[in-house]
Amino acid sequence: MGSFSLVLSQMAFLFTCILLGYIISRLRILPENADKVLSKLETYVLAPALVINSFRTNCTPENLSDNASLIGYSCILLGVSLVMTLAVAPLFTKDPEEIGVYRYSLLVPNYGFMGNALVQGLYGEEGLFRFLIFSLPVTAFVYGVGVMWLTAGRQKVTWKSFVNPSFLSMIIGLLLGVTGLPLPAFVTKTVSSCAACFSPIAMILTGIVIAHFDLKELFSQKKVYVLTLVRIIIIPLIVFAAVRALHLPQTAAHMIIVFSVMPLGMNTIIYPAAFGLNEKPGASMAVISNIIGLITVPALLSFML
């Protein structure tokens, strides 16, 4: 019950921020383009600050060496999940413009906004550092194949796909951590303060994006419930069984499990909308999975960890 309460408390905090974003958007307290402004703030300032702050603090040569194996475990998880996704996604849709969204939803949970926020709340800065290391292969996949899926092939994979704030902030944080280069106190405070804003702003942004849709219509898409249950219940249970059977190290097991139980994120809305595609299936998945995840995430984590 102790671990359940701890995770539930963190999930309740995140969900409350989502609800706050939804309410202030519905009440028109913020301007119409608030989601675009906050999205850019998260992408170019707060998320990089979170990564730099974590790597700068924890990325010592010894720590980096000790946790390098997490990348290997992540690659294995990604490869196995990819095979499963390619087999299962066509069962939900044959539409060539939608199938990429279903593939992405089955393969990639909300490990960025919600995953980072939850891990930081549960494990602290050191745990967040390990989670960021673990998620590196998935991040590379998302900016490459993932974006191509979500845009139905309209955005191709090029080297420019990987020149983005996420990867650049990791490199900066890694260099600062490995070299031990001291920063002026005001710079350190600025980075750490911006990093502290990441979680609440990310969740408020999620609520604002959800508020743009008709909830009744989103809740009426029945096959989305099936996909959501597969993504946030069946897949985590399969992953848990594999982790137990293989007797993986505790740190790797925890990172894999936490990654697997996350609900779906906002990329399934943002990228299709940006290319004039149907964003409603992705929005429905995000809304339904985040609501159900309020119970499934703490329940599964308290059972598995």
Q: What is the pLDDT of residues 127-159, one digit of tens each?
A: 999 999 999 999 989 988 998 999 888 887 777
Closest alpha carbon to 9 in 207, 303, 301: 301
Q: Mean of the pLDDT values across residues 74-93?
A: 94
User: Per the structure block, which two tokens stand in for 210?
Assistant: 């959800």
* Band of residue 4 on the pLDDT scale cut at 50, 70, 90: confident
pTM: 0.87
Q: Mean of the pLDDT values across residues 150-174?
A: 83
CA angle, 213 then 217 then 223, to 5°: 115
Q: Mean of the pLDDT values across residues 20-45?
A: 91
pLDDT at 2: 53
Reply yes or no on whether the pLDDT at 291 is more than 60.
Answer: yes
Reply yes or no on whether the pLDDT at 15 is more than 90.
Answer: no
Closest alpha carbon to 4 in 299, 305, 233: 299
Q: Give the chain's radius of gyration (CA, Å).
A: 19
Q: Mean of the pLDDT values across residues 157-166?
A: 77
Reply yes or no on whether the pLDDT at 1 is more than 60.
Answer: no
* Band of residue 3 on the pLDDT scale cut at 50, 70, 90: low
pLDDT at 269: 83
Q: Does the domain at residues 2-304 carry the CATH identifier 1.20.1530.20?
A: yes
Q: Alpha-carbon distance 257 to 65, whole Å?
A: 22
The DSSP output letter for 114 is: I
What is the percent of the chain where pLDDT is above 90? 44
Please give the single-letter amino acid code of residue 126.
E
